[in-house]
């Protein structure tokens, strides 16, 4: 019996005693919970809802029902307060679960439900000539993990890096470069120096508004294809992309497309024309806008000087992507602060009559703060992703030097641990929560960290190496199943359902939290059980260890984190 069948058995036992209440099988299934504490059973049925319907006390209902239902499929069924707790026949479920994992290996939890339908993910999308910030890290790692999760369920993710390579900021940058910059400086360290010019521009433009006029001029030149402006732009873009690619290589993340905002330059006229043809375009103080009613501010499509905007390019991009990929869903993994923008984007597409606007979803996420303060490029309060990765790898090196100085592949492992720590730290937080970034918190081998999960996996692998484990097929012994081992089995059994939940909620943190929970349950077992003892349950215990190693590796892989065999 696998865990799904066990859940259905709970529903089947409840169904006959609940028929009078008119609950469907579906409804019963949706009410069944997994208790936090296994003392409370493996599944529990709360009676609060019934209590409302029946005007009876929940405790009373739980007791009545337990007396009536057929408990023969379970080890034990009992009423505890307002809950009916079901205890499974452990051996049966454990046997099936372990067997399935050892057979399917990294495919455990995979499905074909997506039927290769295309899901477009707009993710990372840093801005040219600016450093990639911790904010872009969030988009990159959340997007990448969602792509992994969707692929696991048989969807076809398309990862698009919508580079911020167009817009009025390039006018500012060109003015700044021409006034204060030098070719030699940019060549030596493009991002730092371009950023420096840009910050200087913003320090001065309050008192020198003529700078803004010049910047507008330069951006217009760029939009009109002026050769000097174009040349500068191309140069800034190439240098920036080189720097971004270094970071992506570090993270082990790649993209299916780097078509950024500039790609849509020759596709915007058509959109503006279409808006006009459909009677949606209004003129307001010289600018072209689409009115979006009471709920949303109007979308500005063209400024009074004719310049296009961020949303104009996003409109062209959405239409282009629908034509190119015929997506089922289009996700935009972008910070919460752009909620209004994406609401406007959807609203304008809806007004244009595109029903697929409903398939667009803004996957928002919270801010990363530092010492409680918002990070800001303009105020110069940035944490550079490159520095963070570098520092994190260095911390990992120090830890390894302390704990395992003779480790083979030390460099590679330190890289996997340092980078994995940063990714995990980001993904373990609920997507929409803000969180404070502190490097020391990230690379710890204990607590709720990536290295802790990686370390647990390495520990499992080390046990298997010592035992010279060759994959003892399916031997599993009921006597292995003490409470601690059973706790692991239940965690293993829940993995497929956790993946489904993560996909439904677009929430990689569920996978990260799950990995921590599984790791904890394994370490608890390890602390209480001698695994490597030559007795007739050795094979059985090793199979359990192997199943843990497989599932931890796969959970980390879904997050985009490596699982070294030794550390």
Q: How far is the CB of 165 from ligand ARG (least distance, A)?
A: 9
Residues 68-97 that bind ligand ARG (CB under 6 A): none
3-state secondary structure of 560: coil
How far is the C-alpha of 425 from the C-alpha of 440, rounded, in Å? 11
How far is the C-alpha of 250 from the C-alpha of 423, rounded, in Å? 11
Question: Residue 135 or 190: which CB sits closer to ligand ARG?
Answer: 135
Q: Which of 149, 334, 493, 544 is the binder for ligand ARG (CB under 6 A)?
A: 334
Question: Residue 41 or 164: which CB sits closer to ligand ARG?
Answer: 164
Is 332 a residue that touches ligand ARG (CB under 6 A)?
Answer: yes
Q: Output phi, psi for 372, to 5 deg.
A: 80, -5
Q: How far is the CB of 140 from ligand ARG (least distance, A)?
A: 11
Is 127 a residue that touches ligand ARG (CB under 6 A)?
Answer: yes
Q: How far is the CB of 314 from ligand ARG (least distance, A)?
A: 5
Q: How far is the CB of 164 from ligand ARG (least distance, A)?
A: 3
Size of the site for ligand ARG (CB under 6 A): 9
Question: Residue 135 or 451: which CB sits closer to ligand ARG?
Answer: 135
How far is the C-alpha of 282 from the C-alpha of 291, rounded, in Å? 7
Find out whether 289 and 309 touch, Cβ atoms under 8 Å. no
Q: Which of 50, 69, 122, 463 is the binder for ligand ARG (CB under 6 A)?
A: 122
Q: How many helices (H) and strands (E) would you count in the chain?
A: 21, 13
The residues near 519 (Cβ < 8 Å, ≥ 6 apart) are: 452, 453, 456, 457, 552
Residues 128-167 that bind ligand ARG (CB under 6 A): 162, 164
3-state secondary structure 325-380: HCCCEEEEEEEHHHHHHHHHHHHHHHHCCCHHHHHEEEEEECCEEECCEECECCCC
Q: Output phi, psi for 47, to 5 deg.
A: -110, 10
The one segment of 119-127, 412-420, 426-434, 481-489 that binds ligand ARG by CB under 6 A = 119-127
The upper half-sphere exposure of residue 395, i.e. CA atoms within 13 Å in the direction of its Cβ, equals: 21
Q: How far is the CB of 384 from ligand ARG (least distance, A)?
A: 15
The dihedral over CA atoms of 135, 137, 143, 145, expressed in degrees to the nearest 10, equals -130
Is 314 a residue that touches ligand ARG (CB under 6 A)?
Answer: yes
Q: How far is the CB of 114 from ligand ARG (least distance, A)?
A: 23
Question: Residue 136 or 457: which CB sits closer to ligand ARG?
Answer: 136
Q: Which of 118, 125, 240, 308 is the binder for ligand ARG (CB under 6 A)?
A: 125
Helix axes of 210-223 and 190-204: crossing angle, nearest 10 degrees: 130
The one segment of 118-126, 141-149, 218-226, 274-282 that binds ligand ARG by CB under 6 A = 118-126
Task: List residues binding ligand ARG (CB under 6 A).
Answer: 122, 125-127, 162, 164, 314, 332, 334
């Amino acid at each position: 019996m696998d865990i799904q069948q066990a859940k259905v058995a709970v529903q089947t036992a409840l169904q006959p005693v609940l028929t009078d209440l008119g609950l469907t099988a579906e409804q019963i299934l949706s009410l069944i919970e997994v208790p936090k504490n296994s003392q409370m059973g493996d599944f529990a049925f709360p009676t609060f809802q019934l209590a409302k319907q029946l005007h009876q006390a929940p405790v009373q209902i739980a007791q009545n029902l337990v007396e009536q239902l057929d408990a023969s499929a379970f080890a034990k069924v009992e009423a505890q307060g307002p809950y009916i707790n079901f205890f499974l026949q452990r051996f049966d479920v454990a046997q099936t679960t372990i067997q399935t994992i050892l057979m399917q290996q990294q495919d455990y939890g995979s499905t074909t439900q997506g039927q290769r339908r295309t899901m477009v993910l707009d993710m990372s999308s840093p801005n040219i000539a600016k450093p990639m910030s911790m904010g872009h890290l969030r988009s990159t790692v959340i997007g990448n993990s969602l792509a992994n999760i969707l692929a696991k369920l048989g969807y076809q993710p398309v990862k698009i890096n919508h580079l911020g390579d167009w817009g009025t900021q390039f006018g500012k940058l060109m003015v700044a470069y021409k006034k204060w910059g030098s070719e030699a400086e940019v060549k030596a360290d493009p991002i730092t120096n371009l950023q420096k010019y840009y910050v200087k521009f913003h320090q001065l433009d309050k008192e020198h508004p003529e700078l803004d006029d010049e910047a507008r001029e330069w951006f217009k030149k760029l939009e009109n294809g002026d050769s000097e402006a174009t040349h500068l732009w191309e140069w800034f873009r190439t240098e920036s992309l080189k720097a971004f690619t270094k970071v992506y290589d570090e993270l082990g993340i790649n993209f299916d497309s780097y078509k950024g905002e500039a790609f849509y330059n020759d596709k915007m006229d058509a959109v503006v024309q279409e808006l006009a043809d459909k009677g949606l375009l209004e003129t307001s103080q010289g600018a072209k806008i689409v009115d979006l009613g009471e709920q949303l501010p109007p979308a500005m499509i063209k400024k009074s000087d004719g310049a296009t905007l961020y949303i104009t390019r996003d409109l062209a991009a959405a239409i282009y992507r629908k034509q190119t990929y015929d997506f089922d869903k289009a996700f935009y993994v972008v910070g919460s602060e752009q909620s209004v923008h994406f609401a406007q984007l959807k609203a304008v597409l809806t007004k244009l009559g595109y029903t697929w606007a409903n398939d667009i979803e803004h996957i928002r996420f919270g801010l990363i703060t530092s010492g409680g303060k918002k990070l800001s490029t303009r105020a110069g309060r940035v944490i550079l992703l490159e520095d963070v990765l570098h520092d994190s790898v260095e911390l990992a090196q120090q830890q390894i030097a302390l704990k395992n100085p003779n480790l083979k592949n030390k460099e590679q492992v330190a890289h996997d641990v340092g980078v994995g720590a940063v990714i995990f730290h980001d993904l373990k937080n609920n997507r929409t929560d803000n969180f404070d970034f502190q490097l020391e918190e990230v690379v710890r081998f204990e607590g709720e960290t990536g290295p802790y999960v990686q370390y647990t996996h390495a520990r499992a692998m080390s046990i298997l190496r010592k035992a010279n484990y060759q994959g003892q097929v399916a031997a599993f012994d009921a006597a292995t199943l003490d409470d601690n081992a059973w706790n692991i089995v239940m965690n293993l059994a829940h993995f497929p359902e956790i993946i489904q939940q993560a996909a439904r909620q677009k929430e990689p943190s569920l996978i990260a939290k799950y990995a921590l929970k599984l790791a904890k349950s394994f370490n608890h077992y390890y602390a209480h059980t001698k695994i490597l003892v030559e007795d007739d349950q050795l094979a059985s215990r090793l199979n359990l260890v192997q199943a843990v190693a497989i599932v931890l590796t796969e959970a980390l892989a879904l997050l985009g984190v490596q699982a070294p065999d030794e550390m």
